[in-house]
Structures are given as C-alpha cells and as structure tokens.
Amino acid sequence: MNLRAALTAHRLIAIVRGDDPEAALSTVLALAAEGIELIEVSLSGKDALTVIERARQALGPDRPLGAGTVLTADDAHAARRAGADFTVTPALGEGVRVARELGMPVLAGVLTPTEIVAARTYDATALKIFPAAEAGGPAYLKALRGPFPHELFVPVGGVDEAAARAYLAAGATAVGVGSPLVGDAADGGSVSALRERARKFLGAVRDVTP
C-alpha cells in the first residue's frame, strides 16, 4: 500500500487496543463501516494477531490494516503473517528496520529532532510524534515543521476532536487517535457510541483545509 498517499488523503488513523478480542474485532469492523480507512490494531492488546487475521479476512485484501506497537523483528514478521500491510511503532528500532525489509510501510515513532534525522536511516515512511500532548502539542509540531518541512508528521497521544483540528491546522499530515475515539468499545463497550464518535472525528478532520 501507499501509506504516504493514504495518510494525506484520509488524515486519521484509528488505534484499536483492547482486552476482549471479539470486541476489538467488532470495533475494527465498525470503524471501517463508518468510513475510517486507516485502522491500526496494537499488538499490546489481547490476541492482537488473531484480531488482525480475522479483520483481514472480513475486510478483504484491499482495505488498509495496520499493526501497532511493533517493537521487534519478531513483531514485524508476525504482523506480516497476520495480514497487516503497514506497521506503526512507538520508537525507532528493529521493528522499523525489519518491517521495511519485508516491504511494509512504517509509521515510525519519534519525538526529537535527532530522532527525526535518525528515522531517515531506517527509511521510515512517515513519522509518528509520540507522545504528542506531553511533548508540547500543536505548538511543538509547528516548531518541528520549521527545520523539517517535508516530513509527514502524525501526532499520537491525547488527540481529541479539538486537538485533531489544531494539529492538522499546524501542519500535521494526519492524526492517530486511540481512546478518545475507541473509548471502551474494544473492551466490550457500546458499538453505537463508537460509531457516533467515528462520525464526529471524520467530520473534525474534514473540517480543516490542508
């Protein structure tokens, strides 16, 4: 898949992490049904690889599906076998390198200018600013874009609807959203409430002119 083009076009990644595999799968499918094109299933969730396998079967081969919290070479290989076609990491390391060797695009976690430069040696596809809120929010992102105007930045961590708009206005390519969007749905919470939140977030990212 072309992750750079997908991030630019869709501007939102939903992050699914839960302790109930059935609920996590239902969450992925509900998000997809509401029109969220980029969905990441975190490997830190219970039976996450099985969730990815089943989601891939349900969604078909052409719908983008990511594996998150990819830390190691084994994680990258397992994500590929499960059917993920892109990976997301919280930091730079073996997970990034091996996923790229396997031909998978990677949204690689960085925080500092030094890490942004280092990400180029890993051939990262795009850069996840994490934890974005703790780093300084939209103002920090705007400052990073000064020396790095051509990087694709995706803030993750503490991104609610208002923050999503602010990050995109500050120059983010997309935003990654976990609990403010998913809530408790991946642990068995309300799917109808999840769907409502999905519609609101889609509206929020569409409101901001690129």
Domains of the chain (ranges; CATH) run 3-207 (3.20.20.70)
Is the pLDDT at 210 greater than 90? The verdict is: no
Is the pLDDT at 86 greater than 90? The verdict is: yes
Nearest to 79 by CA among 117, 37, 41, 116: 41
Biggest CA pair distance of the chain = 44
- Give SS3 for 125: coil
Q: What is the pLDDT of residues 98-127, one digit of tens each?
A: 999 999 999 999 999 999 999 999 999 999
Strand residue runs (E) in the chain: 12-16, 38-42, 66-68, 86-88, 106-110, 126-129, 153-155, 175-177
Output DSSP code: residue 180.
Answer: H
Q: What is the pLDDT of residues 34-43, one digit of tens each?
A: 999 999 999 9
Q: What is the pLDDT of residues 129-154, one digit of tens each?
A: 999 999 999 999 999 999 999 999 99
From the list 37, 46, 94, 128, the catalytic residue is 128
pLDDT at 208: 87
Q: What is the four-CA torsion angle of 89, 76, 151, 205, rounded to 10 degrees? A: -60
Q: What is the pLDDT of residues 149-204, one digit of tens each?
A: 999 999 999 999 999 999 999 999 999 999 999 999 999 999 999 999 999 999 99
Is the pLDDT at 58 greater than 90? The verdict is: yes
Catalytic-residue membership of 128: yes
Catalytic-residue membership of 40: yes
Handedness of CA 51, 65, 187, 128 (dihedral sign): positive
Q: Which two tokens stand for residue 145?
A: 């874009």
pLDDT at 60: 96
From the list 22, 34, 37, 40, the catalytic residue is 40
Q: Are 174 and 12 in contact (CB under 8 A)?
A: yes
Q: Per-residue b/e over 131-162, b at no fewer than 16 CB within 10 Å?
A: ebbebebbebbbebeeeeeebbbbbbbbbbbe
Give, rounded to a whole angstrom, the gap between the first and last alpha carbons of the chain: 22
